[in-house]
Each structure stands twice: as structure tokens, then as C-alpha cells.
Structure 1
Amino acid sequence: MTKSQRCLSAVALALVTMATAGSAAADEYIFKAAPQTDINRVYRVNRLTGEVGACQYALKDNSVGVTLCYATGEGAGPQSEPGDYDLVASSHEREGGIFRVNRRTGEMSVCYVLPPDTVVCTPSSR
């Protein structure tokens, strides 16, 4: 293999590595809207750690508004075991919470915003 072929191979390998890393990073979070029809809240979960967060839009005088994101509270932080976490919204139109599910173990918990400003989750169960 010539020097220029080796260089091209190294560049190609670097590009493949970057593309793979970028695709993995893009899949790190899953987002799901709360099923409640009169709020504009969106939840996110880290697929590997299970950490849950939530944000929503709020009006602010003389501006286009603000994005309010809630702190992670009890049970909503990273879980003790890595998993393959996802979010599932119920079909209940008045439900402001969302289910965090671990696709590897089948465990579920319910996460919601506890007023005034914290995302919390119930203990996981099967």
C-alpha cells in the first residue's frame, strides 16, 4: 500500500468513526410530549442512564416567551444500572406525567413535574 493510499484509508476510517460517534450521540436522548392536552410540556430521558428531565414554554412580558426546564429531583436522576430507557405517554388526556420504561428489564416508573419546579419519578417496578 502506498503512502497516499494509507493516508486515504486513515481519513476514511476517521470519517466512519466520526459518523458512528455522531449517530450514537444523536440517539442518546428520547423526547416525548406529556399526554395532558392543556400543557406544552416535553419530557426527555437519557437512553443509557434513565435520567429524566422536562421543559415547557412560558409567556414572558414583552418577549417571545421563555423555555422553562425543571431540575431533576427524587428518582429522576441516573438509575443504578445502565439500561435501554424510553418514554411512554399514556392516552389519558389529563395525565401530566409520563412512564419511564427500561426495555432491558421491563421495569417502569411514572415521572412528573412536582410543583413548583422539580421532575420526580416513582420507584421502578415490574
Structure 2
Amino acid sequence: MCLSQYCHGWRRLALATPLLGAGVAATASAAGNYEFLAAPQTDLNRVFRLDKATGEVGACQYGLKEGSSIGVTLCYPPGEGAKAGTFSEYALVASRHTGEGGVFRVDLRSGMMSICFVLNESSVVCTPQAK
């Protein structure tokens, strides 16, 4: 039995700790919503980015900048078919074809697939989903 005024504070802390833990777990599960995958093409330094919940696909690669020894990061925004879609569970899969500059976007819940690639060095596009 506690006779001090501090016991009430400890009791409140003990009751609040599980709630704080649940909040931290929810934040941690929201983090890591992206997946990254390099294009299988061996002479291309392109990496695709996927939002695993919405299926949105973008890509970035290294580019040379005239007059600079560092270079730049060139990023391509989602274009036709690559923008956020139906909420699901998506993943990226690379083929083993060393000349392939694109990647497969798969919907793990429905089994639907599309192929995503950079079109005309302007944006990422994806083919219509098929099964």
C-alpha cells in the first residue's frame, strides 16, 4: 500500500504505458510503406519506388550534369497507369532479363500484374493490369 502522493503518478504512468506502446507500434507500421527495386538492365542505374498500399510507381537514376563532377539525381514521376490506384498490397518484381529496363508491379491480393517503365525520359508508365 502506498501512502505517498507519488503513488498516483506511478499508477497513471503504468496505465498509460500500454497506450503509448500501441501508438508507437501504429507509427512504426505506417513507416516502411515503400519498396525499392533496381531495374534488371545491367547498364542502367535506375531504381523504381513503389507505394505498397496504393501501387503508385516512380523511378530515379543518376545523371551527369555538365560542368559538375557530382552529377544529379533524375526522378521520373508517376504517369499513365503508374499513379495511385485501388488500395491493396503491391510489390515489385524484376525479371531476370538483363536487357529489361522495367519492372513488374504485382497486386499480391488479386494476382493482377502490370509492367512499369520510364517512357520517353519523362515519366513512369504502367501497362493495364492483367492476370
Q: What TM-score do you get using the length of structure 1 for normalisation?
A: 0.90
Paired residues in the alignment total: 124
Could you tell me which residue of structure 2 aligns to residue 77 of structure 1? Answer: 83
Identity of aligned residues (%): 52
Could you tell me which residue of structure 2 aligns to residue 54 of structure 1? Answer: 59
Work out the CA distance in 2 between the residues paired with 1:11 and 1:66. Answer: 46
Work out the CA distance in 1 between the residues paired with 2:70 and 2:53. Answer: 34
Structure 1 position 63, deviation (Å): 3.6
**Is 2:12 the partner of 1:6?**
yes
Structure 1 position 115, deviation (Å): 1.1
User: How do 1:23-62 and structure 2 match up within 5 A?
Assistant: 23-60=28-65, 61-62=67-68
**Is there any run of 5+ residues in structure 1 with no aligned partner, and where?**
none
Structure 1 position 39, deviation (Å): 0.6
**Is 2:100 the partner of 1:95?**
yes
Work out the CA distance in 1 between the residues paired with 2:104 and 2:88. Answer: 15
Work out the CA distance in 1 between the residues paired with 2:14 and 2:60. Answer: 45
Structure 1 position 74, deviation (Å): 0.3
Structure 1 position 11, deviation (Å): 4.2
Aligned CA-pair RMSD: 1.6
Q: What TM-score do you get using the length of structure 2 for normalisation?
A: 0.86
**Is there any run of 5+ residues in structure 2 with no aligned partner, and where?**
1-6
Summarize deviations over 1:40-73 as a string: whole Å, max 9, x none: 0000111110000000011123241111110211
